[in-house]
Structure formats: C-alpha cells, structure tokens
Structure 1
C-alpha cells in the first residue's frame, strides 16, 4: 500500500522519466472531498510497478483538483494510457465522479508529460524550502519543437525584462513540462506564499503572456502525496 505524506512532491526526482496529469473542474467548491476520494482510491492500490508517486492538489477557490503521477518509465506510462481500463484512467477524478453535462464536472487528461526545463529563484536560501502555493498553467502547442521553442522564448523574454537572477521573493522554482506528443506545455511553479505568487504573475507574467498568448492559469495548494512503498523503504 502506498505511503501518504503531507510533503509536496519532489519534481526533480532522478528516478522519474515521465508524469501524467489530470484536472477536474467542479460546479461547486467541494474540491477537498474529491481530493480525498482520489487519494483514497489510489492508496487502496494496486499500483503499476513503474509508478513511484501520486500527488493531489486543490485549486485555491475550491472548484478544481489536479493529480500529478510520477513514473519511472516513460514506456510503461504510455502503455498504461493506451489501456483505458488501466489505473491511470480508472482512478482519474472524472472517472470517480462522472463527468458530463449532467454532473457539471469537466476534466482534462490523463495527459503524459516530461519536464523540459526548471528554473529556480535565488531569493529563497533555505536548504529544503516547503512550497505552499503552486501556480499551474497549460498552453496548447503545434508540436514538440514548437513547444520547446515557446518555452525557451518565454524564459528569454523574462530574462530580458527582469534579469536572469530571478531573485523573486518567495519563489522556489518553475517547472516547465512538455507533453510527450508535443501538443501541450504545462508550467507548475513552487512558491512559499500565494500572495507572492499572485503578485509575481501580475507584475511579470501577465505582460509577457499578453505577447506570447495564453494566461497564467490558477493557483493550487498541495493536498497529499502518496509514495510507492518499495520506493521509499530503505
């Protein structure tokens, strides 16, 4: 049985080749209830041998849930997603609640990603800072080359406007993911406070995205992380 933890995921795990992300938008602010249901379903197992962790996040307004599952094998993840009866589909938020016009639930995914680039802030000097706010944004792309070029261009524009030091108060890191088919970019950032994250988005990213297209998405908070027992027992 997976082990539950209050600690948010380690986005830079060396044993992770790919991740799969799902989101659910709800008609009422009952995201915590859904998050508990998702976590309980995953904790009951069994897990694929190649899945090492699953983290559940809740939107700041209580109307959205995001799951972030880390896999040690890209091939195993892709095989899982080809099977619509696999745990990746059966345990997704939409499958547990039912989505569609009647339920009011809207979902995306499961979508497989790999981390393309991570940039870190320099103002936070703690050795192991614990983020409490996670800005999340998705952007549609034409293909993998376009996605990589878009991320590189976005970060170059930020450096041109703000400098490359990235000494933003309370900023830990921004993790830029590209979907395995190249059609999506996911940006998932880590912050010590929601207030600082919101201010940074307004001051830095909203003007840049006005040129590049898209919006800065939404703020999430961590709900729980489940770690595969065989990966955590030493």
Structure 2
C-alpha cells in the first residue's frame, strides 16, 4: 500500500463509495485503512478536507459490487454515468462535490445530460474548471458530481460571477430549475491523501 498526494482518476469504471463526515482527525480515519490488509477489489481510497469548513469526504473506488460487499464497508454507493476532462494536461488542486437528489434514476440521467449539453455549448466557461464526473447512486436518486478544479478559489470566483452557478444562460437555467431535482450541497475540498495498492 502506498500513500500519495495524487488525485484519483474519477473516470475509472466500477463502484464508488463516498461519504461526508463532520471534521474528525484525518489520521484517525486513515488508520484502519493503513493498519489492515488491503481489501480485495479496492482500487484507491482518497480523503479530502473541506476548503471552507469542517467537513471531510472520502472517495473509494472498487472493481465491482461484489468486492465492495465482501469488504463490509458501508456508505453511499455510486456508478459513473458520464464524465469529461480538459485535454490540456492541467492537474487538479481541488475537488468540488456537488450533491443532487432526484425523483428517479431516469431523471438523474436526464439532469446530467442537461449539464453536459450546457457545458458543451457554453463558450464562456469560467477559468479553472478541469473535469466533471457524474456518479449516480445505486438507487438512482442521488447524483454526485466529482468536479476537478485548478483551485478552490477558481470555483469560488466562478460562483460569485454567476449568481451561484458556474455559468449563465438558458441551458444553465434549465439545469437549475429542472422539476424533480433538488440541489443538496456544493462543497469545495482539497485532497489530504490517496491510498493505493
């Protein structure tokens, strides 16, 4: 097992387990992972600290549901639905976790597709955005956008310039006001560490 300061690759296929905690000592969260044998099927385990407050988010990537079941780990399970990243080689310095609840799995996919349409047609996206990887929970009613940014400050500036959204326009209005979709949280994180086999 190796401990690095490298961000994981959210484009990996498989199952993601990700949960949010009130601030605890990060080392206490990492200790069970570093003191026990590496679980079969675990690809990476990352832990992030809230850039603006007292939250911690973990993000673990597993090969499949069976490996996660056998690990005995609990938390919110997600599968990657869609993702994209800039091809200019920029490296993330922050991760923004955008959590959304929806009325159904179909609506979750429709909402994510609407975000991608807005991103693809927007010619005025703010500086600092690198990638967006949308995960849908196994019950289909939660969306987790793992958004890569150069810095947390870049994301702050983008929201401040666009009334709480990364950009503006009719397609973004559709994203913000889609019936049956409720924004839960938008939290900026910095990576503390990633564990890998």
Structure 1-normalised TM-score?
A: 0.71
Change (3 A) 1:130 1:159: closer
Offset, 1:7: 1.0
Deviations 1:1-25 (A, max 9, x none): x211111112223xx4111001112
Offset, 1:169: 2.0
Matched positions, count: 186
SS at match of 2:166: helix
Offset, 1:154: 2.6
* Partner Cα separation in structure 2 for residue 34 and residue 200 of structure 1: 30
1:139 has 2:100 as partner: yes
Bigger radius of gyration: 1
SS at match of 1:76: helix
Counterpart contact for 1:20–1:112, Cα < 8 Å? yes
* Partner Cα separation in structure 2 for residue 140 and residue 37 of structure 1: 30
SS at match of 1:205: coil
Say what the alpha-carbon RMSD is for the aligned residues.
Answer: 2.3
1:154 has 2:115 as partner: yes
Report the structure, 1 or 2, having the larger strand content. 2
Offset, 1:54: 0.2
User: Could you list the runs of 4 or more consecutive aligned residues of structure 1 that deviate by over 6 angstroms after TM superposition?
Assistant: none
Give 5+ residue unaligned stretches, structure 1: 26-30, 90-109, 229-234
* Partner Cα separation in structure 2 for residue 167 and residue 210 of structure 1: 16
Change (3 A) 1:44 1:175: same
Pairs within 5 Å for 1:86-97:
86=72, 88-89=73-74
Deviations 1:132-161 (A, max 9, x none): 11111111122221211111123324445x
Structure 2-normalised TM-score?
A: 0.83
